[in-house]
Amino acid sequence: MINSAYTPPLDLIRRPRRNRQTPAIRALVREVRLHADDLIQPIFVKEGPGGAEPVGSMPGIERVGLKGLFAEVAQLSALGVRAVALFPQIDPALKDARGKYAISEKNWFFGLVRRLKGEFPDVLIVADVALDPYTDHGHDGVIDPVSGDVANDETVHVLTHYATRLAEAGADIVAPSDMMDGRIGAIRDELDREGFTQTSILAYAVKFASAYYGPFRDAIGSAKSPQAPALDKRTYQLDPANIREALMEARLDEDQGADILMVKPAGLYLDVISAVRSATTLPVAAYQVSGEYAQIQAAARAGWLDLEKARDEALLAIKRAGADIILTYFAKAVAESLKKG
């Protein structure tokens, strides 16, 4: 047996392990880190003051009414998370094929945005712009009766109106997630015409037709019915195989005036995040979606993964790929553990 004391050292100029010896040197050479400033917490909201309801497929996530929302946002901002993305769950009785309630004066969601802004003026409100919470079929837009497909231009027309009402209610950032052609330009025009020149647009520029949105659709009730086959959004969301097309979408949204470009989902599309990062000078966001969250939670619950380590590794990978901003259901938990140090 070789006694290591007598092993002559290898003649190595590079010993990468020197930079990994201690926590201090590892921290010194770390290339990217998680920070509460970069995180946006998505929150599911429901009408009225009522108590929180758990979302079955997303452990730790609840749908909250106004009171619960205020409590949640207070905690988040104390932890340094100063941006929230709101998704309303609309009563099925208020839904129809055209999603008309979205732009109704009576839509309670506008009132909720207004009250949240009043209570927390410094917290950024990101409001999702799409019709899926409001349509009884769960698609992001209006269906053309002839083709049976989502009608592009008509949907854009409704969404520009919806986005403007959200800006008026106090949303700092509107986030079109519908993937219709031309919606960023149309929304920018309308916002400017109505005097909302300072309202930002976070474009879901690169949104893939993903199976990983399943738990979200449960959360807001856009999945049609539990028995129905999974909603097929492939005529507007991107084919997961296509990166060149993804880059074209990113360029179009940049040219139409988007302030931030987003890639979604995140963890399965690190190459796309990296390519979008290189193709633009705009801030790049990535959305770690409900299915990515559920996957980590499920494995951790089964005792197969360490929750915090798997979570942080997934988020760090998204940062390393080039995302400046991450929407993640883990935002609060991450901010809590960063605070603890």
The footprint of ligand PBG (CB under 6 A) covers 128, 130, 132, 140, 177-178, 213, 216-217, 233, 289-290
192 vs 239, which CB is nearer to ligand PBG?
A: 239
Check 46, 95, 233, 264 and give the catalytic one: 264
207: annotated active-site residue: yes
Residue 17 phi/psi, 5-degree rounding, is: -65, -20
Q: Which two tokens stand for residue 24?
A: 């201090």
Rounded to the nearest whole angstrom, what is the least distance from the CB of residue 329 to ligand PBG in the complex? 7
Tell me the C-alpha distance between 159 and 137, whole Å: 17
**What 3-state DSSP class applies to 243?**
coil
Q: Could you please report the per-residue DSSP string of 38-87?
A: GEEEEEEEESSS---EE-TTSTT-EEE-HHHHHHHHHHHHHTT--EEEEE
Strands (E), the chain: 39-46, 53-54, 62-64, 83-89, 124-129, 173-176, 200-207, 260-264, 284-288, 325-328
CB of 223 to ligand PBG, least distance (A): 8
Closer to ligand PBG by Cβ: residue 140 or 249: 140
Q: Given the structure tokens 């005529």, which residue do they identify?
A: 235
Tokens of 256: 């139409």
Query: Closest distance between ligand PBG and the C-beta of residue 313, in Å?
Result: 19
What's the closest the beta carbon of residue 98 comes to ligand PBG, in angstroms? 16
For the record, the structure tokens of 100 come out as 């008309």
CB of 291 to ligand PBG, least distance (A): 6
Taking the complex as a whole, the smallest distance from the CB of residue 322 to ligand PBG amounts, in Å, to: 20
Give the three-state DSSP class for 35: coil
Residue 55 near residue 214 (C-beta atoms within 8 A): no
Identify which of residues 217 and 277 has a Cβ nearer to ligand PBG in the complex: 217
Nearest residue to ligand PBG, by Cβ distance, number only: 216
Give whichever of 10 and 241 is closer to ligand PBG, judged by the CB atom: 241
Q: Which of 207, 233, 319, 332 is catalytic?
A: 207
Determine if residue 224 is left, alpha or beta; phi over 0 gives left, psi from -120 to 50 gives alpha, anything else beta: left
- Both tokens of 326, joined, read 């991450």
Q: Cα(104)–Cα(109) distance, rounded to whole angstroms?
A: 10
- Cβ proximity to ligand PBG: between 233 and 332 the closer is 233
Distance from C-alpha of 250 to C-alpha of 229, rounded to nearest angstrom: 30
Residue 325 bridge partners (DSSP): 285
Residue nearer to ligand PBG on the CB measure, 128 or 249: 128
For the question of residue 117 being annotated catalytic, the response is no
Question: Which residues are part of the catalytic machinery?
Answer: 207, 264
